[in-house]
Amino acid sequence: MLPFALQKAGSVEEAVTAGAAGWRYIAGGTTLVDLMREEVERPDRLIDINALPMNDIRVEGGDLVIGALARMADVAAHPEVRRLQPIIAESLIEGASPQLRNMASMGGNLLQRVRCPYFRMLDAACNKRTPGSGCSALDGLNAGHAIFGTSEYCVATHPSDVAVALVALDATMRVRGPEGERSFPIEQLFRLPGDTPHLEHTLRPGELILELRIPNGAYSRRARYLKVRDRASYEFALVSVAAALSIEGDVIREARLAAGGVATRPWRLRDCEAALIGRQATRQTFEETARLATQGARPLQHNHYKVELLPRTIVRALEMAGEVA
Amino acid sequence: MTASEHEGPVEPLRGRCSANAISRRQILQLAGGAATVVALPSGAIGAVETNAEETFPMTSAQLTVNGQVHQLELDPRQSLLDALRERLGLTGTKKGCNQGACGACTVLVNGKRVLSCLTLAAMHDGASIETIEGVAAGGDLHPLQAAFIAHDGLQCGFCTPGQIMSGLGCIAEGHAGSPEEIQFWMSGNICRCGAYPGIVAAIADAAGRT
């Protein structure tokens, strides 16, 4: 690991001032320390934000509000999270291992770097790690890579599970930077790679994630997260789906759908959502609407299976959400 | 979040990539003034100290390990795992993959199981840490240790300290209700042989001689 300076922030203001001056925030460190050891990440200055009062979990006006420093394990075990937004607990427990969930913060989870093996392989080409060097995944081992939102410069999937649920549920985040606070939908945090894959999110210099806010919908208590992967735990998704339905009688009134493991950012499936509204909650409806999800898919040499696996996962996730709706 | 990841002027891949505007030497100088991991003095951040030494400051942290208090001066790079093993001589905690994938380095920090390889020791000032060396009370094995022996739950033994520390966490969390639940909640501890690097080196060595 290359040498760096380490300091502790005593207040949000101190942290933001440091962030604006180029200090890099560190919370759980589960991604950053790993990448620094591999010298994929080479920050010179780290500011430890763990002492900041940003780890509370509360209900406010029906919304669930989660501090950015709340640990994945604490959020997943929290009674109000499990009662109001069980999909948040479900998607968190499907991610990482218990030890990692005890360490990793919610804000850090959303900012974690990709798991593309070439990103971590210093002798491979990677435009995300070294802009302009090329992309070894394009013609390499790309079975785990994206079929949506890709470019000729990057095809890595976004690795977070809970981000998929947060995007499906129209969650927002509040951040503070040198010029004050702002809130925006979490979906807007994530950039498409385009020709600048090294730029992964839309935070401005020094901006610190303060908290996440998840609105309460008619579907919230019935939303489900289904993750398909090569082993039953402690593995990243091949395909995952967050599904939420509000059903009256047997007619779908509201639907929320997003997919993970298939795109360069958490992938909201708005065409499928629109097609579900007003229809009967049957397997036939789910199968017909799930087909819409793969329009525009651009599979690579080894990940064609995702074009088939995605609609199947959507159907099953909708069935799971329908069972509890 | 490096500066290059922020929104703002975006340099596309065509042409040269955006280089840091500040040199490594300047950054080293920026960091030179701080002494320990303490709250930042106001105005310290961003101040350029042109005569600072080109070294990064050590940091100090007080760690309570198995009930014993240690005051340590630490290189910021030192992981909790390395601090336990190399500074305190507590080699029961094992270095397996050193990248958070195997669970061999699991310890309890303030009662919660974490991976000591993926966390910086200097970030645990004031923390209470329990390692495998602190599990047995006096000369008596902890019941979980005794159970590992009774059920032959170890082969080479390299992963065993991490398995036991993680098992203590699993039980304390209330996730030991069934074999399936235990499997799921122990999935961060991989049991494998720790000799892969030695095997590769031996093959390479042998291949060079034949």
The per-residue pLDDT for B182 is 86
The per-residue pLDDT for B191 is 82
Task: Say how far apart CA A139 and CA B43 lie, in whole Å.
Answer: 50
Per-residue confidence band for B200, with pLDDT thresholds at 50, 70 and 90? low
The per-residue pLDDT for B91 is 98
Residue of chain B whose Cα is closest to the Cα of A133: B13
Partners of residue B11 in chain A, C-beta under 8 Å = 131, 196
Partners of residue B6 in chain A, C-beta under 8 Å = 199, 203-205, 207
For residue B3, is pLDDT > 60?
A: no
Nearest to B188 among A34, A97, A200 (CB): A97
Per-residue confidence band for B6, with pLDDT thresholds at 50, 70 and 90? very low
The residue of A1, A2, A7 whose CB has the most chain B CBs within 10 angstroms, and thus the best one to mutate to test that interface, is A7
The per-residue pLDDT for A199 is 97
Q: Is B119 in Cβ contact with A29 (below 8 Å)?
A: yes
The per-residue pLDDT for A308 is 98
Per-residue confidence band for B193, with pLDDT thresholds at 50, 70 and 90? low
Per-residue confidence band for B190, with pLDDT thresholds at 50, 70 and 90? confident
The per-residue pLDDT for B181 is 87
Residue of chain A whose Cα is closest to the Cα of B38: A8
Q: Is B17 in Cβ contact with A198 (below 8 Å)?
A: yes
The per-residue pLDDT for B139 is 84
Residue of chain B whose Cα is closest to the Cα of A33: B118
* pLDDT per residue of chain A (325 residues) written in tens, 0 to 9: 999 999 999 999 999 999 999 999 999 999 999 999 999 999 999 999 999 999 999 999 999 999 999 999 999 999 999 999 999 999 999 999 999 999 999 999 999 999 999 999 999 999 999 999 999 999 999 999 999 999 999 999 999 999 999 999 999 999 999 999 999 999 999 999 999 999 999 999 999 999 999 999 999 999 999 999 999 899 999 999 999 999 999 999 999 999 999 999 999 999 999 999 999 999 999 999 999 999 999 999 999 999 999 999 999 999 999 986 6
Residue of chain B whose Cα is closest to the Cα of A21: B46
The per-residue pLDDT for B146 is 86
Per-residue confidence band for B177, with pLDDT thresholds at 50, 70 and 90? confident
Pick the more confident residue, B207 or B144.
Answer: B144
Smallest CA–CA separation between B22 and chain A, in Å?
10
The per-residue pLDDT for B207 is 66
- pLDDT tens-digit series, residues A80-102: 999 999 999 999 999 999 999 99
Smallest CA–CA separation between A110 and chain B, in Å?
12
The per-residue pLDDT for B41 is 47
Q: Is B184 on the interface with A (CB under 8 A)?
A: yes
CA A116 to chain centre: 15
Q: Is B12 exposed, middle or buried (0-12, 13-18, 19+ CB in 10 A)?
A: middle
The per-residue pLDDT for A286 is 98
Instruction: Share the mean pLDDT of chain B.
Output: 77
Per-residue confidence band for B202, with pLDDT thresholds at 50, 70 and 90? low
Smallest CA–CA separation between B139 and chain A, in Å?
28
Q: Is A9 in Cβ contact with B6 (below 8 Å)?
A: no
Pick the more confident residue, A189 or B27.
Answer: A189
Residue of chain B whose Cα is closest to the Cα of A4: B56
Nearest to B39 among A8, A38, A207 (CB): A8
The number of C-beta contacts closer than 8 angstroms across A and B is 178
Smallest CA–CA separation between A258 and chain B, in Å?
25
For residue B30, is pLDDT > 60?
A: no
> Which tokens is A276 given?
């579900």
Per-residue confidence band for B54, with pLDDT thresholds at 50, 70 and 90? low
Q: Is B166 in Cβ contact with A44 (below 8 Å)?
A: no
Task: Say how far apart CA B21 and CA B14 lie, in whole Å.
Answer: 19
Q: Is A99 in Cβ contact with B187 (below 8 Å)?
A: no
Written in H, E and C, the secondary structure of chain B is: CCHHHCCCCCCCCCCCCCCCCCCHHHHHHHHCCCCCCCECCCCCCCCCCCCCCCCCCCEEEEEEECCEEEEEEECCCCEHHHHHHHHCCCCCCCCCCCCCCCCCCEEEECCEEEEHHHCEHHHHCCCEEECHHHCCECCECCHHHHHHHHCCCCCCCCCHHHHHHHHHHHHHCCCCCCHHHHHHHCCCCCCCCCCHHHHHHHHHHHHHHC
Using only C-alpha atoms, chain B has a radius of gyration, in whole angstroms, of 22
Partners of residue A1 in chain B, C-beta under 8 Å = 77
Q: Is A234 in Cβ contact with B188 (below 8 Å)?
A: yes
Q: Is B114 on the interface with A (CB under 8 A)?
A: yes
Per-residue confidence band for B56, with pLDDT thresholds at 50, 70 and 90? confident
Q: Is A3 in Cβ contact with B169 (below 8 Å)?
A: no
Q: Is B78 on the interface with A (CB under 8 A)?
A: no
DSSP assignments along A66-88, one per residue: EETT-BHHHHHH-HHHHHH-HHH
Partners of residue B120 in chain A, C-beta under 8 Å = 6, 26, 29, 33
Looking at residue A57, the DSSP 8-state letter turns out to be E
Which residue, chain included where needed, has tokens 């199981």? B113
